[in-house]
């Protein structure tokens, strides 16, 4: 039975997992995963899901939340470094991705579900709070986790996507009113269209997407997120002559294999709930984030370029009064923690140390 809007809101604000079973599994899975051997892997039960997490270290909990179309693996460079600095680092596969359960219903991917998963993970790990760090869609989840549960998430770091306050009209309707009927968010709405395009060859999808929106692609003023009428999303991307130095064939092979487990439909369902999220977040219209916060992005990232992104970035000190700083990296695109792992990790550690976490 579908939960009502009131039930969804209550489940997050009250910190009640949607499942009564939120205990962490004590059984670690064999380390058959790529990346540093020091990173452990296990499954935990939280918010009604079996969630795969990559994990390392002891100390204050730091939750790393990935974006589209990635997995825990996008944090492969940060996990060992943060663990070595004295933190318990946990990077889940988000719902619908990799080893984590993938509910089939489109409405199971609202912002309330996604934040509820983060709440459930913290509780399942036996903790009461965590610093939450997110990239891309993970940034949206991190901002809203901080907004909805400031008691559990006393500090937040977001990458690539600034905090977006609830607008006056649903976002998809606004795009159509602005004549942006071929914007990729709109293209993603028809179930089975973008899904089929991306699922034909997940490795090709990743290669073209990761390259095109990175800082290694040729600089262009063209907004490749506005698609040509009648064309697919990949038609606006570029085929690299060779992979950028931060991305290897083995990286692509693993990430593609993870996406093949469930396909692209459920990751795309995140986008298909934009207008429903707008409805669910009505009680927080105009709300600001007071916790200590930090924002990191690449200067070549399409998300913060253009009038809308520039305004959101400029407004951060107002919409996030707890903002402690902004780091914009030259020559870097959207996949900032992979493109410049050392700089991102150093910034994360500086921010975490400032919080005096215990």
Catalytic residues: 136, 334
Give SS3 for 325: strand
Sheet of 323-329, strands arranged across: 40-46, 49-56, 88-92, 61-65, 131-135, 155-159, 293-298, 323-329
CB 15, CB 123: distance < 8 Å? yes
Give SS3 for 212: helix
Rounded Cα gap, residues 97 and 72, in angstroms: 9
C-alpha dihedral, 70 to 72 to 23 to 142, nearest 10°: -70
Task: Please list the residues that pair with 134 across neighbouring strands.
Answer: 65, 158
Label each residue of 246-308 as H, E or C: CCCHHHHHHHHHHHHHHCCHHHHHCHHHHHHHHHHCHHHCCCCCCCCEEEEEECCCHHHCHHH
Give SS3 for 88: strand
86: alpha, beta or left? (left if phi > 0; alpha if psi -120 to 50): left
Q: In this structure, what are the phi and psi dihedrals at residue 79, rounded to the nearest 5 degrees?
A: -60, -55
C-alpha dihedral, 288 to 291 to 292 to 295, nearest 10°: -40
CB 183, CB 227: distance < 8 Å? yes
Task: Please list the residues that pair with 157 across neighbouring strands.
Answer: 133, 294
Rounded Cα gap, residues 315 and 323, in angstroms: 11
**CB-based burial of residue 70 (10 Å sphere; 0-12 exposed, 13-18 middle, 19+ buried)?**
buried
């Amino acid at each position: 039975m579908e939960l009502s809007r009131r039930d969804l809101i209550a489940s997050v604000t009250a910190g009640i997992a949607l499942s009564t079973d939120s205990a962490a599994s004590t059984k670690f899975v064999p380390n058959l995963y790529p990346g540093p051997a020091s990173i452990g892997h296990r499954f935990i039960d939280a918010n009604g899901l079996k969630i795969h997490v990559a994990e390392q270290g002891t100390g204050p909990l730091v939750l790393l939340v990935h974006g589209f179309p990635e997995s825990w693996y996008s944090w492969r460079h940060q996990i060992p470094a943060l663990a070595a600095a004295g933190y318990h680092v946990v990077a889940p596969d988000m719902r619908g991705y990799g080893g984590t359960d993938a509910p089939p219903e489109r409405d199971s991917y609202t912002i309330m579900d996604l934040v509820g998963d983060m709440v459930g993970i913290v509780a399942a790990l036996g903790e009461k709070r965590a610093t939450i760090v997110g990239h891309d869609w993970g940034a949206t989840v991190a901002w809203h986790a901080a907004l909805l549960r400031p008691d559990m998430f006393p500090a937040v770091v977001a990458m690539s996507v600034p905090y977006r306050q609830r607008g006056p009209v649903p976002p998809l309707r606004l795009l159509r009113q602005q004549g942006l009927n071929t914007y990729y968010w709109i293209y993603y709405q028809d179930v089975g269209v973008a899904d089929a395009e991306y699922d034909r060859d997940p490795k090709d999808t990743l290669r073209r997407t990761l390259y095109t929106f990175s800082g290694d692609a040729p600089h262009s003023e063209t907004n490749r997120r506005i698609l040509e009428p009648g064309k697919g999303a990949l038609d606006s991307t570029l085929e690299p002559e060779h992979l950028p130095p931060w991305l290897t064939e083995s990286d692509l092979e693993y990430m593609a294999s993870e996406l093949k487990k469930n396909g692209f439909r459920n990751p795309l369902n995140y986008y298909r709930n934009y207008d429903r999220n707008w409805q669910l977040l009505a009680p927080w219209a105009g709300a600001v984030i007071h916790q200590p916060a930090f924002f990191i992005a690449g200067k070549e990232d399409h998300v913060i370029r253009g009038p809308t992104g520039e305004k959101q970035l400029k407004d951060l000190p107002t919409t996030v009064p707890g903002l402690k700083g902004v780091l914009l990296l030259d020559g870097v695109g959207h996949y900032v923690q992979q493109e410049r792992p050392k700089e991102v990790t150093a910034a994360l550690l500086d921010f975490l140390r400032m919080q005096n976490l215990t």
